[in-house]
Chains A and B, each alone.
Chain A
Amino acid sequence: MIRINCPYCGERDHSEFSYGGDATINYPSLDASEKEWTEAIFFRKNIKGFQFETWHHSNGCRMWLVVERSTVTHEIKSVKPCNPNLQKVVENNK
């Protein structure tokens, strides 16, 4: 079991969460070329090692998180809220 330290709820089993995907995708502007959109939607780095990825606390607070996790050892380095403004709220409440 992977344990994810949700900034809102505390440390929980990963079975409470659902995996989203690559958290580093930058979607291009609406008038960008087909090539750029294809790249953003379909193509992935598929990193072997530490990567930033999104998880949804679907059976908890239902917030989206950015997790830095190794895809080889499953070790987690950091967990943050997806929304940078909420990150500030979390820090202010500590």
Chain B
Amino acid sequence: MTKFNAWNVIKNGLNGQSYWTRQWRDPEPKSSYDVVIIGGGLHGLATAYYLAKNHNIKNVAVLEKGWIGGGNAGRNTTIVRSNYMMPGNHEFYEHSLKLWENLSHELNYNVMFSQRAHVSLFHSPGAKDSVSRIYNIMRLHGTDAELWDLKTLKKKIPHLNYHNSRFPILGAAVQKRAGNARHDAVAWGYARAADTLGVDILQNCEVTGFTRKNGNIESIQTSRGIIKGKKIGFAVAGNTSVLWQMAELGNLPIESHKLQAFVSEAVKPLLDQVVVYGVGGAHFYISQSDKGSMVFGGDLDWYKSYAQRGNLPMVQDVAEAAMAIFPSLGRIRLLRHWAGVMDMTMDGSFFICKTPISNLYLNAGWNYGGFKASPASGWYFADLIANESPHNYVQNHNLERFEKGINIDERGAGPDPKLHG
């Protein structure tokens, strides 16, 4: 694998770009591995990378049923932030943000991480109090957070609709270190870096069954043959329940819902921040990609679904929210839209935990927030697999928390997965 640096760019520039090697190998599956990660999304790839990097476990395979970057890794709105308040969550997402800040150097791959500020608008004194509480908790834990009054906000983003009489903008809660990144580059960067450390990335390798022995999973049946793993990790958010039931483990506190995202045609620089608008029935978040496209999304489609395609009522909802807050988008044309399948959990928080099978580990339940979490998710999942006990930050992110009554419910929405937006 050729390293990306100035020397190699110049050398290849003079040689017709002929000395670049492929970014990761396409190996044949070995018969057994120390760790097999099922799911070649951002979380699975990051886990494999940190297993090799932090824990020196290099005999690792990542099984991907499709291709790298074809699932939820390429079906998100690329927002990175750490504005969480629950114990465990804020430490975890803050660590993730710190990993993001150095990720391009770490992976030798430009993930185009841009800390352009995450601006969350509020529209009533009650909403201001509520968000002030969250952002004060963040400050107490050393995360950057601030409130912008209307004057500051108007100066920073002059073209929002400040004349909305139903939901007047009163100001915004802002995290300046937050922003976005290029999602494909993150997937490719982790795949390439993990591959360099010896990880086998097996694409078009769908899991079809498990063979159990003495209570453990002994081997995995796949579309590319039988693969043994001493330890096995699930990182297949969206399809976790399917795999869980394939391993005959019963039910999970998860429902699969689909979330749509939208990309417009490219326009000249229009928006320099990530803006979030959430009132009553509307939920809308928007940023502009480096290419110039407006990238935005809204709520779930509100009914359970494994289909990776969205339905029209939500397209209308999102368009209405866009027009309410950003009227200048009115004549912009939509280029693409798509949907990804989310693991929506019963309290809106994730799982990085052991399972009833002693050599099986679970990484699941990322709700709306899987993209920003991927570096820390890989970090702590690798830590769990290597050390066989969860780090303090994720000690309550397990399946037993519901029975114990220690749900990690940021929104306080209760046990209805679709409400944890």
- Which residues of A come within 8 Å of B, CB atoms? 1-2, 13-15, 18-19, 21, 34-35, 38-39, 41-46, 48, 51, 53, 71-74
User: Within 8 Å CB of B302, what residues of A?
Assistant: 18-19
> Most chain-A CB neighbours within 10 Å: which of B251, B304, B415?
B304
Chain A nearest CB, measured from B28 CB (Å): 30
Contact with A along B245-263 (1 / 0, CB 8 A): 1000011111110000000
A46-B311 in contact (CB<8A): no
Chain B nearest CB, measured from A71 CB (Å): 5
State in angstroms the CA–CA spacing of A74 and B31 once bound together.
Answer: 39
Partner of B306, one of A42, A53, A71: A71
User: Within 8 Å CB of B252, what residues of A?
Assistant: 43-44, 46
Chain A interface secondary structure, helix, strand, loop or mixed? Answer: mixed
Chain A nearest CB, measured from B301 CB (Å): 9
User: Within 8 Å CB of B306, what residues of A?
Assistant: 48, 71-72
B255-A41 in contact (CB<8A): no
Interface size of B in residues (CB-CB distance below 8 Å): 27
User: Within 8 Å CB of A41, what residues of B?
Assistant: 346, 402, 415
State in angstroms the CA–CA spacing of A42 and B241 once bound together.
Answer: 14
Q: Is B242 an interface residue (CB 8 A)?
A: yes
Partner of B255, one of A1, A2, A44: A44
State in angstroms the CA–CA spacing of A46 and B238 once bound together.
Answer: 10
User: Within 8 Å CB of B305, what residues of A?
Assistant: 71-72, 74
Pairs A-B, 3 closest by C-beta atoms = A46-B241, A43-B251, A19-B303
User: Within 8 Å CB of B313, what residues of A?
Assistant: 1, 13-15
Q: Is B418 an interface residue (CB 8 A)?
A: yes
User: Within 8 Å CB of A51, what residues of B?
Assistant: 304
B415-A42 in contact (CB<8A): yes
B346-A42 in contact (CB<8A): yes
User: Within 8 Å CB of B402, what residues of A?
Assistant: 38, 41-43
6 A–B contacts, CB within 8 A, in A order: A19-B302, A21-B304, A42-B346, A43-B253, A71-B306, A72-B307
Contact with A along B296-312 (1 / 0, CB 8 A): 00000011111100011
Partner of A14, one of B245, B255, B303, B415: B303
B307-A74 in contact (CB<8A): yes
State in angstroms the CA–CA spacing of A28 and B31 once bound together.
Answer: 46
Q: Given A43-B250, A46-B252, A71-B304, are A38 and B241 neighbors across the interface (CB < 8 Å)?
A: no
Partner of A2, one of B256, B311, B418: B311
Chain B nearest CB, measured from A5 CB (Å): 16
Contact with A along B346-362 (1 / 0, CB 8 A): 10000000000000000
Kindly report which residue of chain B lies nearest to residue A2, judged by CB atoms. B311
User: Within 8 Å CB of A44, what residues of B?
Assistant: 241, 251-255, 417
Partner of A1, one of B311, B403, B416: B311
B251-A46 in contact (CB<8A): yes
Residues of chain B in range 304-355 having any CB-CB distance to chain A below 8 Å: 304-307, 311-313, 346
Chain B nearest CB, measured from A40 CB (Å): 10
User: Within 8 Å CB of B303, what residues of A?
Assistant: 2, 14, 19, 53
Other contacts beyond A14-B311, A45-B245, A72-B307: 14, CB < 8 A: A1-B313, A2-B311, A14-B313, A19-B304, A42-B253, A42-B415, A43-B250, A43-B251, A44-B241, A44-B254, A44-B255, A72-B305, A73-B307, A74-B307
